[in-house]
């Protein structure tokens, strides 16, 4: 399988909300892929690498004071609501 090309630096350009929203979508997809025997190892590995990039960017923002844990909690609640709404609407 061909590797996807992804620049982790592009995550810097995302808003806090967009970064966390995409992180949660990837996290959900990775959870499903990890439990599936039909998703090949290379795909799972690449998804984990992407996941690690998102975690690193979120951590960087928190460590540098660009994002507080309180703000992240608020974003988490909004993202939960959006994901639930998307799930209901198909």
pLDDT tens track for 39-71? 999 999 999 999 999 999 999 999 999 999 999
Q: How far apart are the C-alpha atoms of 86 and 90, rounded to whole Å?
A: 6
> What are the pLDDT digits (tens) for 17-29?
999 999 999 999 9
Contact in structure between 63 and 18 (CB atoms under 8 Å): no
Domain boundaries, the chain: 10-89
Look up the pTM and report it: 0.86
Q: How far apart are the C-alpha atoms of 77 and 52, rounded to whole Å?
A: 22
């Amino acid at each position: 399988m061909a590797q996807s090309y992804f620049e982790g630096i592009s995550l810097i350009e995302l808003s806090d909300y967009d970064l966390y929203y995409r992180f949660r979508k990837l996290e959900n997809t990775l959870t499903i892929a990890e439990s599936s025997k039909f998703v090949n190892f290379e795909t799972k590995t690449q998804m984990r690498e992407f996941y690690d990039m998102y975690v690193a960017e979120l951590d960087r923002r928190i460590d540098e004071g660009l994002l507080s844990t309180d703000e992240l909690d608020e974003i988490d609640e909004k993202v939960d609501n959006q994901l639930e709404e998307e799930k209901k609407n198909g």
